[in-house]
A and B are shown apart, each in its own frame.
Chain A
Amino acid sequence: MKDAFGIPQSLLVLGGTSEIALATARRLVVRRTRTVWLAGRPSPALESAATQLRSLGAEVHTVAFDALDPESHETVLGKVFAESDIDMVLLAFGILGDQAHDEREPVAAVRVAQTNYTGAVSAGLVSARALQNQGHGSLVVLSSVAGERARRADFIYGSSKAGLDVFAQGLGDALHGTGVHVMVVRPGFVRSKMTAGLEEAPLATTPEAVATAIELGLRRRSETVWVPGALRVVTAAVRHLPRAVFRLLPL
């Protein structure tokens, strides 16, 4: 169960090697979280993530989970929820793709969309139903500021996150009053292995900062969290720029 500050005792991470997810898990394990399920494609990285969390004192299980195989989600996640209550699901899987390459290779672009959006729709709905049955829990969805407005530099990734974001907002409304809390997290540019080698955007942040913001959001039962918080204002301004002007910006 969650405590008075919204900190879960059990956590399911979808996308178990995500740096943001692991930073969040570390933070929560230090507080109250005792059981962590790391779902992801079986890999040494997943195992070492599990080992790292175990060293902090958590009981960690790994689960073979593939975002690109929605048919399997019901079974795979069903097993986890059958074991015990899950107080928080952190939907953290996603790929950035390579914009230039993916524009030339539509199949590669579709893979970004399928992972980030289609996979999340299926995993999100499966998790939401399970949380609703147990009458409590938080579903934390990692969206991105990239989904707020199409940018020349990353509109394939951005569009997949835009779809995910709208999906998660709607899901949150659908689940309002059911005891299940859906929180959409919109980080800006996060320094991580996903963005390694890319040119850093303004207001860049770290996985640890996102984790801190998530913990605060859980306590406040927030519906939307921006990291850093200043992005909320900046994006609100950018969203209303005329297209002709927006195009000229070096974004």
Chain B
Amino acid sequence: MSADTVPVTGWGRTAPTAARLIRLRSYEEAVAAVRGCGARGGIPRGLGRAYGDAAQNAGGSVFDMTGLNRVHAIDAEGGSVLCDAGVSLHRLMEVLLPLGWFVPVTPGTRYVTVGGAIGADIHGRNHHVSGSFSRHVLSFELLTADGEIRTVRRGTPLFDATTGGMGLTGMILTATVQLQPVETSLMSVDTERARDLDDLMARLTASHHQYRYSVAWVDLLARGASTGRAVLTGGDHAPLEALETRGRLAGGTRARRDPLAFGTPRFPAPAPFLPEGLLNRTTVGLFNELRYRKAPRARTGRLQRISAFFHPLDAVPHWNRIYGRGGLVRYQFVVGQGQEEALRRIVRRVSGQRCPSVLAVLKRFGDADPGWLSFPVPGWTLALDIPAGLPGLGHLLDELDEEVAMAGGRVCLAKDSRLRPELLTAMYPRLDDFRALRAELDPRGVFTSDLSRRLTLQAL
């Protein structure tokens, strides 16, 4: 166990706070660290991809889990894996793809840990089919505030409080995860364009749910008649015979020789101190225009690598640096089925304000999972990345929060860095159950984060 006091931020690089970063290397060290942490508590941290302050703990401890990264057992027949919480999805893909298995749910980056995936109950492009990550977790071991290690199984209150619980119920040490079988490591991808928001929503409603993975990139700088124009992408794991017929695409000859190879390109990282304002209305507008026009009007059956389909940004390490010193704000909300009007209003607001958002992603969620603070509910979810330095952004997002809350929706806690605490109860109706369980399980508030302080996630 080694510790330093260092400034810590989330992936958005806003609001740094200082904490003792404790690198854990064994379960014994984890128990000792939790038992011995001071009055300001501690919070587990994986690879730091949460955008806001979920894995920060000002003046207290931050438990770096990435040293606990062993894959203990793989059931290659039944398709499950038992591994440490600090194992990344990237590592799991490296290990599992050659055996014909894939992680059940992946977000836009492979560089999240299994513990973080459970704590944030992450979702992916297959939510409408597969639900969130916790649906595929069979059980996990949780180190609670009293220093005990409990085995937590599906269907128990502790399971539902921990999945999506942002690390505040305890430290996940290991987990058993059910996997998804695949024949190849390639994706068969269909692309189409939507000329405006109505067209986009119609397409997503009509046929897009037939794809296992479905998502739309929206050009939020487009205005007027083309407000909400988008590029839709639908995909599924390519079956082996697809390589026979279309093997030429995307480096197909190699793919045929080794259909389960896991290739991941890496480009150089941006310089650490880029000026703010690199991503402005002009540059992002040009980029969006190009991206929209470059996309084919309709193309089917293109073969893509897993890394290119799911995680294009992972190819650039530290891509968050391009937002400069001021950092970025990720805003993601969901509004339920039947609240399409609210979604339209929000898209029009954002387009009207000319937010230079490179990344704006719309998708439909399927059934919710039982996690008390789990984000997904059936409906529409939109995620945007915006430079934090944009004038008036705080005010705009506050107004969008109101709109979302009025529509019975919610914002995603794993990405939040600025929500008004008052709106939280409306967005997460099971918050009181969560607080009550925390008060009982962790009366001293050992597990505490900047997020839990900011939004008062502990008992009042």
Interface residues of A, Cβ cutoff 8 Å to B? 1-7, 9, 31-32, 34, 85, 132-136, 177-180, 219-221
Inter-chain contacts of A5 with B (CB < 8 A): 14, 388, 393-394, 418
- Determine whether the beta carbon of B53 is less than 8 Å from that of A1: yes
Inter-chain contacts of A7 with B (CB < 8 A): 394
Inter-chain contacts of A9 with B (CB < 8 A): 421, 454
Minimum Cβ distance to chain A for residue B7 (Å):
6
Sample of 11 A–B contacts (CB below 8 Å): A2-B15, A3-B418, A4-B52, A4-B394, A31-B394, A85-B453, A133-B59, A135-B57, A135-B60, A136-B58, A177-B6
Minimum Cβ distance to chain A for residue B8 (Å):
8
* Interface check B203, CB cutoff 8 A: no
Select A219's contact among B5, B57, B389, B420, beta carbons within 8 Å. Answer: B389
In the bound assembly, the distance between CA atoms of A32 and B421 in angstroms comes to 9
Inter-chain contacts of B31 with A (CB < 8 A): none
Q: Which A residue sits closest to B18, measured CB to CB?
A: A179
Interface of A, secondary structure class, is loop
Select A135's contact among B19, B325, B418, B454, beta carbons within 8 Å. Answer: B19
Q: How many A-B residue pairs have CB under 8 A?
A: 78
Q: Which A residue sits closest to B8, measured CB to CB?
A: A179
* Interface check B376, CB cutoff 8 A: no
Inter-chain contacts of B366 with A (CB < 8 A): none
- Determine whether the beta carbon of A3 is less than 8 Å from that of B326: no
In the bound assembly, the distance between CA atoms of A134 and B453 in angstroms comes to 12
* Interface check B195, CB cutoff 8 A: no
Inter-chain contacts of A136 with B (CB < 8 A): 15-18, 58-59, 450
In the bound assembly, the distance between CA atoms of A177 and B327 in angstroms comes to 17
In the bound assembly, the distance between CA atoms of A4 and B450 in angstroms comes to 12
Inter-chain contacts of A133 with B (CB < 8 A): 59
Assuming the contacts A1-B450, A135-B59, asked whether A179 and B17 have C-beta atoms less than 8 A apart, the reply is yes
Inter-chain contacts of B19 with A (CB < 8 A): 135, 179
- Determine whether the beta carbon of B58 is less than 8 Å from that of A179: yes
In the bound assembly, the distance between CA atoms of A34 and B5 in angstroms comes to 29
Inter-chain contacts of B60 with A (CB < 8 A): 135
Q: B391-426: which residues lie under 8 A (CB-CB) from chain A?
A: 393-394, 417-418, 420-421
* Interface check B12, CB cutoff 8 A: yes
In the bound assembly, the distance between CA atoms of A219 and B18 in angstroms comes to 18
Minimum Cβ distance to chain B for residue A242 (Å):
36
Interface of B, secondary structure class, is loop
Residue in A3, A7, A134, A220 with the greatest tally of chain B CB atoms within 10 Å: A3
Q: Which A residue sits closest to B419, measured CB to CB?
A: A3
In the bound assembly, the distance between CA atoms of A131 and B14 in angstroms comes to 18
In the bound assembly, the distance between CA atoms of A4 and B326 in angstroms comes to 9
In the A-B complex, the 7 residue pairs with the closest CB atoms: A179-B18, A135-B59, A135-B58, A136-B17, A4-B417, A136-B58, A1-B454
Select B7's contact among A3, A4, A179, beta carbons within 8 Å. Answer: A179
In the bound assembly, the distance between CA atoms of A133 and B59 in angstroms comes to 6
Known contacts A3-B418, A4-B15, A134-B40; 7 additional CB pairs below 8 A are A3-B417, A4-B418, A5-B394, A85-B58, A135-B18, A136-B15, A177-B6
* Interface check B89, CB cutoff 8 A: no
In the bound assembly, the distance between CA atoms of A34 and B16 in angstroms comes to 21
- Determine whether the beta carbon of A4 is less than 8 Å from that of B327: yes
* Interface check B329, CB cutoff 8 A: yes
Minimum Cβ distance to chain A for residue B418 (Å):
4
Minimum Cβ distance to chain B for residue A103 (Å):
45
Inter-chain contacts of B454 with A (CB < 8 A): 1, 3, 9
Inter-chain contacts of A3 with B (CB < 8 A): 15, 394, 417-418, 454
Minimum Cβ distance to chain A for residue B370 (Å):
29
Minimum Cβ distance to chain B for residue A50 (Å):
22
Minimum Cβ distance to chain B for residue A88 (Å):
12
Residue in A4, A135, A136, A220 with the greatest tally of chain B CB atoms within 10 Å: A4
Inter-chain contacts of A85 with B (CB < 8 A): 58, 453
Assuming the contacts A133-B59, A134-B40, asked whether A6 and B15 have C-beta atoms less than 8 A apart, the reply is yes
In the bound assembly, the distance between CA atoms of A132 and B19 in angstroms comes to 10
In the bound assembly, the distance between CA atoms of A177 and B393 in angstroms comes to 27
Contact with A along B1-33 (1 / 0, CB 8 A): 000011100001011111100000000000000
- Determine whether the beta carbon of A134 is less than 8 Å from that of B59: yes
- Determine whether the beta carbon of B59 is less than 8 Å from that of A220: no
Inter-chain contacts of B59 with A (CB < 8 A): 133-136, 179
Minimum Cβ distance to chain B for residue A219 (Å):
7
Inter-chain contacts of B394 with A (CB < 8 A): 3-5, 7, 31
In the bound assembly, the distance between CA atoms of A178 and B14 in angstroms comes to 15
Inter-chain contacts of A2 with B (CB < 8 A): 15
